[in-house]
Amino acid sequence: MGKGSGFGKTILFGEHFVVYGLPAMASAIGDFTEAIVEIEEGKGYELSDNRPEVPGYKKKKFDEQKISIKNVLTFMGVDLDKEKLKITLGGNLTCASGVGASAASCVALARAISDEFQMGWDDTRINESAYEGEKGYHGTPSGIDNTASTFGGLVYFVKNLHGGPNTMETIKLSKPVDMVIASSGMTANTSVVVADVREKKEENPKWFEEIVKEYKSVVKDGRHALEMMDLEKVGKLMNKNHELLQKITVSNEKLDKMVKIATDAGALGAKVTGTGRGGNINALTPGADLQDKVYNALKDAGFAAWKTKIGV
């Protein structure tokens, strides 16, 4: 029996912008997906997906998941015409758009395969396998989700648009920071949303370039503020990042409402995290009291919410 796990993630700065080679920052969260792989007699694979989910997520992603599993197995050289695998997914990460559920399951699966077949693959190879798996969900993923999911911690990531290795730096915080993540309950399709933003960018390059200019200073100042633990500033920059996500049309009324609930309850900043047009928001809430307050405000308004930490 082989076992493996992968962290969920939350993006602090730069979803969508990261696709175009701009820097982004994401942090693994404590919740994870776990995979167990067992070799059985026969061919093909059998999947038991026991991951918790926001209603409908797994059904909606099922076809993409099949491509993703095949991609990971092919990349790792597992031939399902010769082997039969029983794959069981579990863990405490609630599957929802925006929390890196697809990446976490790809990383967990790759680690479980490496374990079961005694391949001894290191994190770099696991990350590469998970990236192949992510293509089943995203089409053209930037790689930030699988990177945060594999390596953990807070990462500063720049996609290499020329196909070479991506830039990945781990940023150490002087102490972990509390956050709240909340789900809109709507499942987004990442490849559709990414393709739509790309179309808008291509139709109106000047408009997009202006937004990029603003984003560049958000991420530059955001990294500095995180390194300085200037959390008030980090929060303000998250709000600014949310405004830019509104401009590129990946927020919606429900997500804007959630962001307002979080900031009205005292969050230092809040924004869409991940694909958008559904999925999750994250809110910066240092300290147990503030975290509780924001968590309760979102729960009272009827949204599923989770308390987590970044920079662990």
- Window 193-222: residues binding ligand MEV (CB under 6 A): 194
Nearest-CB residue for ligand MEV? 142
Candidate list 94, 190, 241, 282; residue touching ligand MEV; CB under 6 A: 190
Q: Which residue, 94 or 142, has its beta carbon nearer to ligand MEV?
A: 142
CA–CA separation, 275 and 141 (whole Å): 11
Sign, CA torsion 45/46/50/52: positive
Q: Which residue, 2 or 14, has its beta carbon nearer to ligand MEV?
A: 14
Q: State the minimum distance, in angstroms, from the CB of residue 118 to ligand MEV.
A: 31
- On whether the CB atoms of residues 298 and 199 are closer than 8 A, the answer is no
Contact region with ligand MEV (CB under 6 A), list: 48-56, 61-69, 137-145, 291-299 = 137-145
Is 107 a binding residue for ligand MEV by CB under 6 A? The answer is no
- Window 20-49: residues binding ligand MEV (CB under 6 A): none
Q: Which residue, 216 or 299, has its beta carbon nearer to ligand MEV?
A: 216
- Window 264-303: residues binding ligand MEV (CB under 6 A): 274-275
Write each residue from 142 to 161 as x if it is in contact with ligand MEV (CB under 6 A), else as -, in one continuous string: x-xx----------------
Q: Which residue, 37 or 197, has its beta carbon nearer to ligand MEV?
A: 197
SS3 track for the chain:
CEEEEEEEEEEEECCCHHHHCCCEEEEEEEEEEEEEEEEECCCEEEEEECCCECCCHHHHHHHHHHHHHHHHHHHCCCCCCCCEEEEEEEECCCECCCCCHHHHHHHHHHHHHHHHCCCCCCHHHHHHHHHHHHHHHHCCCCCHHHHHHHHCCEEEEECCCCCCCCEEEEECCCCCEEEEEEECCCCCCHHHHHHHHHHHHHHCHHHHHHHHHHHHHHHHHHHHHHHCCCHHHHHHHHHHHHHHHHHCCCCCHHHHHHHHHHHHCCCCEEEEECCCCCCEEEEECCCHHHHHHHHHHHHHCCCEEEEEEECC
Is 64 a binding residue for ligand MEV by CB under 6 A? The answer is no
Is 71 a binding residue for ligand MEV by CB under 6 A? The answer is no
Number of residues that bind ligand MEV (CB under 6 A): 13
Candidate list 12, 18, 218, 284; residue touching ligand MEV; CB under 6 A: 18
Contact region with ligand MEV (CB under 6 A), list: 15-23, 59-67, 241-249, 292-300 = 15-23
Q: State the minimum distance, in angstroms, from the CB of residue 164 to ligand MEV.
A: 17
Q: State the minimum distance, in angstroms, from the CB of residue 10 to ligand MEV.
A: 9
Q: Which residue, 114 or 189, has its beta carbon nearer to ligand MEV?
A: 189
Query: Which residues contact ligand MEV (rule: CB under 6 A)?
Result: 15-16, 18-19, 138, 141-142, 144-145, 190, 194, 274-275
